[in-house]
Structure 1
Amino acid sequence: MPTLSMLYNTAIASAFVKILLFPCYRSTDFEVHRNWLAITHSLPLKEWYTSHISEWTLDYPPFFAWLEFTLSWIARLLGFDKAMLDPYNLNYVSTSTIVFQRSSVIVLELVLLYALCAYVRSMPARDQPNAILAAIDIFLSPALLIIDHIHFQYNGFLFGILMWSLVLAQKRETLLKSAALFAALLCFKHIYLYVAPAYFVFLLRTYCLSPSGYRIQFKNSIKLGATVIGIFLLAFGPWIYMGQMPQVFQRLFPFSRGLCHAYWAPNFWAMYAFADRVATFFLPRFGYSLPDAVNSALNGPTRGLVRDTVFTVLPNITPRLTFLITLFFQSLVLIKLFFRPTWRNFVGAVTLCGWLSYLFGWHVHEKAILIVIMPFGLLSLKDRRYLEAFRPLAVAGCISLFPLLFTPAEAPIKYLYTGLWVAILLKFNRAAPVPLKRQFLLTRVNLSYMAGFIPLLIYNGIVHRIVFGDRLEFLPLMLLSAYAAWGIFWSCISLIWLYFTDLD
């Protein structure tokens, strides 16, 4: 019988593993966060969002800037390398810097552990064993290991705040605390705006309107509004006072970037771009004339560069169109949440709002898949239908992050760790209860899809280089992104079906 001690022991064991990963590959994000430590420690407040000393300018909201400021002073007081706090030491790295920054990720991840423990305790006794398994699954996610502890970010800390907020949303008496935590989260990282519509509708229906009808509860509305506005003023107040909000928003929302990230996030637009590349290749062979096909391909989304995405055959996409598509599909999800504002529907709506933003959003990063995997993990062991819907997402989402670790030294880690995690995930069948009506999903189709990653990874890692050498260097990324996108898209359709047919 799973117990909370299993979760604690898992966290301790994983901490030792993460310490062993300290010497691993570090992405530019490592220098980004080191530079932010230096900026917030050494420059005056008015220069935090205006400094161009480094190309890695501060582009997270103010609470994260204050977190970096706090970490910088902890590093100084504990006697770590002071040179890392000099903003003019560009691309600076030392053993002391590595130890401090990687240790800070492990320590801040305790927020996620606390939130998962709170989630387990909030469940009825009969559901706690499954909740513990789900918590362990989330904490050990290869996506978190790859992005935070090798590539380098602080997602464990941030998603800990989100999970904690979701747990507090289960009870009416803690709804205001849930709202406050989520408002604070938005001031740490603005990507969580993806799921803000679900919070808005849920809090409106459960906190601002009467439980038995739609009568406005003015006292609650005022408390909620004052809490959220107060938190945002606390975060952005200094920059409002200094008149720097246009500069801050320009940093937070760089819409000048193209539709697809340098490495396509496996979403709908990856499939769209893939279809355009296939059409560009084959149509001229069937007699269709494409006057600018060569130039468009060179400047298009298959070169691995961050720039405007230009399609050769299919219509080009604008930021406004991506926003309208996302808003339309999110609205359908939110309608059900408004009329059936249960906690489980709320978690489902948070998951789907993040998912739809990921699928149809503008310039989505591949790392944003965490905003889908993490909350969906709370539902994954409700019954086998949810588990079956979760598996393709979890496998495709984690494997889609493999290109972030492109050095040979990390290959055994990402393959072996992810393989072990997937094997454990496939064993969860016995833990998840069988629904009364098994009317959903084809297990064998899901397993066949997940198995398809094996030959694809072999091709990308070995066969492509043998066949093409240094040519078509972006083809393996394109194939992996397009294939992962199909699984993520299918899994989203699966959860949408469950969300609208489940009577909860």
Structure 2
Amino acid sequence: MKLLLFPSYRSTDFEVHRNWLAITHSLPISQWYYDTTSEWTLDYPPFFAYFEKILSIPALLVDPAIIDLQNSNYSAWSAVVYQRTTVILTELVLGIALLRFVRGTENISVQRIISASLFFHPGFLIVDHIHFQYNGFMFGILLWSIYQIRQGNKLAGGFFFAVLLNFKHIYMYLAPAYFIYLLRSHCMSPTGELLPARFISLANTVIVVCVVSLGPFILMGQLPQLLSRLFPFTRGLNHAYWAPNVWALFTAADRVLLRYVKGSGINVVINESGISSTSRGLVGDTVFAILPDIKPAHTFLITILFQSIFLAKLWKTPTYKSFLASLTLCGYTSFMFGWHVHEKAVLLILVPLSLLATSSHAYCRTFVIASVAGVYSLFPLLFTPAEAFVKLSYALLWGFFTLLPLNNHTYEFPASLPWVILDMFEKTYLGGFLLLHAVLTLLPLLSRSFESLTFLPLMLTSIYCAIGLVWAFLRLSAIYLTQE
């Protein structure tokens, strides 16, 4: 099926990665993070640059034009086949890790469902095999790290995570959970005494990985330039369309308040520059018309505050299950409150949350809500008609073979009337996606006549998915903080 998707839509990320192949193959390492031949400059950590360098070697044999730095927007069939094939092959890192998870588990049949659900996850199909990225490969490294920790090999778990950080720095969102868990469970005794030998071995492991990755650039005095590529804080609060998080609801609230203020005639100071800023969905500064503007420092402080609450619980109960929940919530908090969050970052929530799905019905229901909202939030990435049937039918099949069996395995009938009402509201919300999809199918027909409706489908998708993801975040937080 993935082979059949080769001719499907591909985003600018396809050209981004082709250009990175050309940069790492054509230029000396000293110029990798300085090159501006294309607007798609290299902005991933060094391990990913080395990864692209390795992939560029077979590319030279397949078609030398692929790695021609001056050959912008090259999309010959040879390039398409080669780059899409590398995604399929490198994703085997994920597949092998998921097979490992099946071994040694108490309920092998259920773990097989979870492993299969991750390997065939709609998020990976949409983002990697159509839109084009290498998330399956990198989440494979993350799962190798988690698997090693589950097996008690915490030093190996720390090693794999350090490697992962040097592939893609977005995984820094998960780093606080790793730091607290490894420090508390590996470097300290049960009575709280520091174990120097273990601490030094863990520190040396991380240092060695970072030296291999960053060492050449430090020696060349290029660390400031590298960091400026990795952390471009000049971008706005919202990404190309509002990622379904707290800021999507905040932005929507600003639009509602603006209309109310204009209609009611209330004397409120309106920021004129914010009238168009938050409705276009473009990359850049997000300015609000009524509500106060949000700065990077605000998002950082809120994220740290929420993460600290979960990390305090992890410090008190440094178990594997507690680590998984805290890890998920660290990624979730960053997605909910982070600056310039990409919609694709929802995978940072959905992947580790999958491993918690069978812990209880409460975890499973949270997983179902987050999965439905999270997967649907990725649909706008594929906006061409040819992929409409693929993304919808694939997601429905995945849900039928994954969400239903897991829900049936863990289901508990609500014990009281408030829980019955809550259960009803959650099921109503999930059913609402059918109505949402019907509305979104009809809106493009209207937008041809009304230009003001162009952004409405994206806004509706973002807001409705944000409601589910925010609720799932609150749900998961309450479950983790109240359960042993």
Q: 220, 225, 230: which one pairs with 2:208? A: 230
Residue 447 of structure 1, CA deviation? 2.0
3-state DSSP of counterpart to 1:418? helix
Once the two structures are superposed, what CA deviation does each residue of 1:89-143 show, in whole Å capped at 9, x if it has no partner?
011111111111001001011111111111111423xx22111111111111111
Q: 315, 324, 327: which one pairs with 2:292? A: 315
| Partner residue, 2:187 | 208
| Partner residue, 1:296 | 274
Instruction: Give the paired residue count.
Output: 480
Once the two structures are superposed, what CA deviation does each residue of 1:437-493 show, in whole Å capped at 9, x if it has no partner?
857683332221112122222222213532653333111111110110010011111
| Partner residue, 1:360 | 337
Q: 306, 311, 333: which one pairs with 1:329? A: 306
Conserved 8 A contact 1:198-1:353: yes
Once the two structures are superposed, what CA deviation does each residue of 1:323-356 show, in whole Å capped at 9, x if it has no partner?
1101001001011111111101101111000000
Q: 399, 404, 420: which one pairs with 1:427? A: 404
Conserved 8 A contact 2:124-2:135: yes
Q: 146, 157, 161: which one pairs with 1:182? A: 161
| Partner residue, 1:13 | none
For residues 75 and 52 of structure 1, what CA distance do their matches in structure 2 show? Answer: 22
Conserved 8 A contact 2:414-2:423: no
Shifted more, 252-261 versus 420-429: the winner is: 420-429
Q: 53, 63, 70: which one pairs with 1:81? A: 63
For the pair 1:218 / 2:202, whether they are aligned, the reply is no
Residue 312 of structure 1, CA deviation? 0.4
Q: Which runs of 5+ in 1 are unaligned?
A: 1-16
For the pair 1:47 / 2:24, whether they are aligned, the reply is no
CA RMSD, 1 decimal: 1.6
Letter in 1 for 2:473: C
When normalised by structure 1's length, the TM-score is 0.92
For the pair 1:93 / 2:75, whether they are aligned, the reply is yes
3-state DSSP of counterpart to 2:182? helix
Taking the TM superposition and a 5 Å limit, the aligned residue runs for 1:156-305 are 156-172=136-152, 174-210=153-189, 212-289=190-267, 292=270, 294-298=272-276, 300-305=277-282
Conserved 8 A contact 1:280-1:293: no
Identical aligned residues as a percent? 47
Letter in 1 for 2:71: N
For the pair 1:34 / 2:18, whether they are aligned, the reply is yes
For residues 487 and 267 of structure 1, what CA distance do their matches in structure 2 show? Answer: 9
For residues 409 and 261 of structure 2, what CA distance do their matches in structure 1 show? Answer: 48
For residues 187 and 380 of structure 2, what CA distance do their matches in structure 1 show? Answer: 45
3-state DSSP of counterpart to 1:214? coil
Q: Which runs of 5+ in 2 are unaligned?
A: none
Assess, with a 3 A threshold, how the Cα gap between structure 1 residues 429 and 244 changes in structure 2: closer, same or farther: closer
Residue 500 of structure 1, CA deviation? 1.7
Letter in 2 for 1:456: L
Once the two structures are superposed, what CA deviation does each residue of 1:402-460 show, in whole Å capped at 9, x if it has no partner?
11101111111111111222233442256523569857683332221112122222222
For residues 215 and 433 of structure 1, what CA distance do their matches in structure 2 show? Answer: 39
For residues 265 and 247 of structure 1, what CA distance do their matches in structure 2 show? Answer: 28
Conserved 8 A contact 1:387-1:432: no
| Partner residue, 1:396 | 373
For residues 328 and 141 of structure 1, what CA distance do their matches in structure 2 show? Answer: 31
Conserved 8 A contact 1:38-1:72: yes
For residues 290 and 84 of structure 1, what CA distance do their matches in structure 2 show? Answer: 56
For residues 403 and 187 of structure 2, what CA distance do their matches in structure 1 show? Answer: 42
Conserved 8 A contact 1:31-1:92: yes
3-state DSSP of counterpart to 1:479? helix
Letter in 2 for 1:389: T
For residues 382 and 157 of structure 1, what CA distance do their matches in structure 2 show? Answer: 26
When normalised by structure 2's length, the TM-score is 0.96
Shifted more, 463-472 versus 180-189: the winner is: 463-472
Letter in 2 for 1:144: F
